[in-house]
Amino acid sequence: MNDKDIELLEESFKKFYFDHFNLIHVPENPNQREFGFQKFGSGMNRHISLKTDKELHLLLMQKVPSDVYVSNACYSFPNLPMNEKDWKNAELIFDIDAKDLGVKSREKHSCVKCAECNEVSTLQPSCPSCQSNKLSKITLSCNDCITEAKDQVKKLNEILIDDFGINQDSIQVFFSGNEGFHIYVNNSEFQSIGAKERAEIVDHIMFRGLIPETFGFKKFNSEKTSLPDFNESGWRGRVSKTLYGSKSMRAKVSKEIISSGYSAFQKQLETIKEQIGVRIDPNVTVDVHRIFRLPGSLNSKSGLVKIFVNDITKFDPYVDACFIDSENTQVVANCPIQFTLKNKKFGPYRQKTISVPKYAAVYMICKGIASSV
């Protein structure tokens, strides 16, 4: 990213923060939170204490950060080094990212950029210009990926309510500003638990570590084996619905599973794990000292906003999270694939000087497939 790119992005981000202060607020107990930020082309600044919206807004206007973060944890001394902060509690946060979901159509919306000559091309093992294999993958907007991520959010929401007794009002969903969602659990009994207990929650949600005995399968005496009923709650019910398909098939499928033996059922459970478990990033939930992108702030990987999602089904991130203005902006674009923002299609462009709305220019520069003129 060159100086002209940084100048355009900083100007665009500053205007966004000036025009949309209403989207950005310090969280509850701000004096107990650790804040952090990055500027374009520089490292992370952490261990910052902010107490009011006014202080936050002042930071945004003076520093014009590329990214702004805040801890889910509360500390006695948030501005001190980590080992001196005195951790008090932290909200449960789950991260669902489209890049981890294995969506088949994702390849159609991806390209590669060469680290040696900066050539951008469709997916291939080496650079068509200099033959280098030092390539970074770039993925643009993809509705299939977002749809799959939404489905994971819905599954997680169901488990949090049904298995953990969390009230729906305590669950908040945010679009991450790039390709995924952050799910917050606020004001719950789980805020005071540590990393070990959070790891156990992660295992449950991801359907990890479950064994045939959990579902009534006896390893050494198949006559006493009794698989779960179709309408049971929790994982027993979810597994039975996946295995049987319908209530009327329980007897037939159960008999087949039991006759196939313990090891076969164990492999079957492993096979359906990806299908029925929620594909969250386990490290995010377990880490009680992580700082997360601040809701209402811009994501420098896309120029889109991390924004609250009221209705996950209707939410369209490439419209609802796109707040940069539409001023005509010239860039040199090297974008071999098409993408959509605000219901408008852009690309493909082959090393071409174009005039596009600023939100599209910012998006491409953030993705590394365009440069400011």
Active-site residue list? 95, 97, 281
The Cα 350–Cα 337 span in angstroms is 10
What would the two tokens of residue 296 be? 């209402």
Find the farthest-apart pair of alpha carbons in the chain and give their distance in angstroms, rounded: 75
Residue type, 56: L
Give one word for 36, left, alpha or beta, with left for phi > 0 and alpha for psi -120 to 50: beta
Q: Would you call 223 exposed, middle or buried from its count of C-beta atoms within 10 A (0-12, 13-18, 19+)?
A: exposed
Pairing of strands 87-90, 73-75: antiparallel
What would the two tokens of residue 299 be? 């994501």
The Cα 113–Cα 4 span in angstroms is 20
Neighbours of 259 (CB within 10 A): 9
List, in sequence order, every beta strand (DSSP E) within the chain.
35-38, 44-48, 67-71, 73-75, 87-90, 92-97, 110-114, 120-122, 135-139, 171-175, 180-185, 291-293, 307-308, 328-335, 339-341, 344-346, 349-357, 370-372
Neighbours of 333 (CB within 10 A): 24
Give, rounded to a whole angstrom, the gap between the first and last alpha carbons of the chain. Answer: 12
Cα-Cα-Cα-Cα dihedral sign, residues 298, 68, 171, 155: positive
With contact defined as beta carbons under 8 Å apart, do 191 and 201 qualify? no
Residue type, 21: F
Neighbours of 245 (CB within 10 A): 12
Residue type, 301: K
